Structure 1
Amino acid sequence: MPNFSIFIASFSLLLALTHSFSAESPTDRRILVLLDDSALKSSHSIFFSSLQERGFQLDFKLSDDPKIALQRYGQHLYDGLILFSPATERFGGSLDVAAILDFVDSGRDLIVAADASASDLIRNIAAECGVDFDEDSSAVVIDHGSYAVSGTEGDHTLIAADDLIQSDVLLGSAKIEAPILFKGIGHSLNPLNNLVLKVLSASPSAYSANPKSKLSAPPSLSGSSISLVSVVQARNNARAVFSGSLDLFSNKYFKSPVQKAGSSNKYAKSGNQQFVTELSKWVFHERGHLKAVNVRHHRVGEADEPAIYRISDDLEYLVEIYEWSGSSWEPYIANDVQVQFYMMSPYVLKTMSTNKKGLYNATFKVPDVYGVFQFKVEYQRLGYTSLSLAKQIPVRPFRHNEYERFIPTAFPYYGSSFSVRAIFCVTNTLGEEVYFTNLDWM
């Protein structure tokens, strides 16, 4: 029996690892969901069901579960982590801030939802990623100009936000018409971190404060500088979403009608479900995930890749780029992919043309400089995984027997040389005639 138990445990681990991230299927993933309260599983069931319907395997655990682990035997068990546990002061098992940051550093994805009860643990995780939640633990976002109209006046902490980033890759091509219901805390972005950006911003009339007390000093966060939802794409292409509202993902907000103050438009359903669904597609690489294959180069008119080029050779560089659609790889179409022919600095920088079927190519002449060059493609575009391709190739000068016999630009020098020789021959001939004439006279 003990041997059989060991076999079962080993098989379970192997099964978990086979569902991890792979370049061929970026969305074939297992996701760990940590909850403050098991009731969140039902109150946020629409969001979780949308993930499961798209093929994700969710593993739900309470945040203080002593068996929580992201790794086993040096291998990651999950490829995505959802933290719906804003009040947790300490995670169970071996999970802590360092473990979560290591999880992201390994190229895996993260969703963090906070609210007014956000603990220092959640705030520290966000701060390490360039997201700074309001330091005042009693402060929430208040907006007296863009609040959601309801039966009671309230304190205007339930706001109707519609200041979204204009990016199809982040939020999909279908426009989100209805405002998004938000109730929670605001955050600012670390100005030194250029990898984090706002997806949903507060309106100019918003500010962060305690709604139960009068303002005695200007609020630390105010206006459009308040970010409600932000995203991070790390240099290793790991992605993270940070929201100041856990209710943003709830069934209640998904189904609630919404009307923004000062607007006559009333929507039967908020934009929360569409917003969250599209954003989750991005964070879990169902959209905006690129790969480059079949990188090659050769002389124009040839097919084989040479081991070395000669200066002034005409060459062609080709690469195929595809985007993951959620179920298959589709050709990526863009007009801003560039290739560099690089040695210390780019000697050639050329925009590549595409056949709109995934193939990109560029033709250029090898510069009149010999040494060790690199073909480099550094492609970074908002919302897309970055591509960094490099291939080294030496360039040699002409051999002694490869130079042109006569260089056109030197024709004036050739002409002057021949003219001097002709003059010399003429003057020499005339000199001899004069000499012999003088001899005859004598």
Structure 2
Amino acid sequence: MGTQTTGTESTLLRLATAGSVDDGKSTLVGRLLFDSKSVLADQLDAVERVSRDRGLTTTDLALLTDGLRAEREQGITIDVAYRYFATARRSFILADCPGHVQYTRNTVTGASTADVVVLLIDARKGLLEQTRRHLAVASLLRVAHVVVAVNKIDLVDYSEDRYLELAEQISTAGADLGVADLRTIPVSALEGANVVDRSERTPWYDGPSLLELLEELPQADEPSDESFRFPVQTVIRPQRAAREERYRDYRGYAGQIAAGVVRVGDPVVVLPSGRRSTVEGIDTADGPLDEAFAPQSVTLRLADEIDITRGDLVASASDAPTPTQDVEGTVAWLAERPLLPGSRVLLKHTTRTVQAVVRDVVGRLDLDSASLEPAERLELNDIGRVTLRLASPIAAEEYLVSRRTGAFLLIDPSSGGTLAAGMVGDALAAVRCPQERPAQYAI
């Protein structure tokens, strides 16, 4: 893996929270914000006022994060809520994902860019199907770290035996599902035990608090040796070109570098056409660069005039992927209607969207046995393997090799709604056989 940064420096950590309904996630996030002094005075005053109006004797910290509750009760679609906070040691972006089963799609969204997933379970209920689903999602998306907070430990009298029992079950489930790095912490979000400060009520636990662990975890850097990949977002032809001589022949290709490094003079290939050229210039809003790297947004100028449009991929000429119209992938099905062979969909890969048809549903992941079982369809929240035939080729790579160019979405061509989050190749291999996980994703 690339060089990792320790928590001793003020670095950014992207984390996502997940859990089943009523596991106390809102209270945990509220406690984390409150005890780390990341709540503004007027926010706290409002929460205290509402708590008193409800007849509560203590402040309901869940109110700090339950701003979407009214929308949920009205049947409005819930999206991921992003929150920002910082300590003296680190800054955080927190993706707060709803816990209901029907909102698993948002857990996929939040976890897709996370360095760590904090997964809650109720100490009284133990592991549920939704817990295993969240662990499987974290494994499939190659989240570097998973922290399972065994919440409501106060409601089992801070029992060491119960915690150790659950910790063993969590460890076994995580290993079966291929989770790379799994930690467990006993917490009481309501009473603040082991959330920000270590608790005297758990003398048998000698590990860090949740916040201490989050401050120490290394950031999940992208592999440093990835090859250059640049999905074209738009072609730039300045309108003032006709009036100013220096812009008359300007043609640039703008986008965000998905992987690797590019330098002026590098040989590149444009896919799917296969036309070759060299990088003549790298432009930014702050001026030209000699080199650029992921995830910078830049405009490339090439030495040759090539017909390039949005959705094309500019790649290193030495090891460019081979465009294909046949894709086998792993998908997390996020729609109410089932996925059946013969279904027509749109496939969005980087900045390219193409028509596709589902040739076959190979199977679905059994969350209990961590095995692929035969299936004729995928239902809401199922994770399975499918084969797709595309109307035009894409320059895709296996997700196990590149998270950027190995990911795709399936979209409803009628409504434009997202149907599935997909990964090129057999991403379930690392779930069934964790030892097959590529070295660059090892911790």
Whether TM exceeds 0.5 here: the answer is no
Instruction: Normalising by structure 2, report the TM-score.
Output: 0.31
Instruction: Normalising by structure 1, report the TM-score.
Output: 0.31
> Larger Rg: 1 or 2?
1
Task: Pick 1 or 2: higher relative contact order, CA cutoff 8 A, min separation 6.
Answer: 2
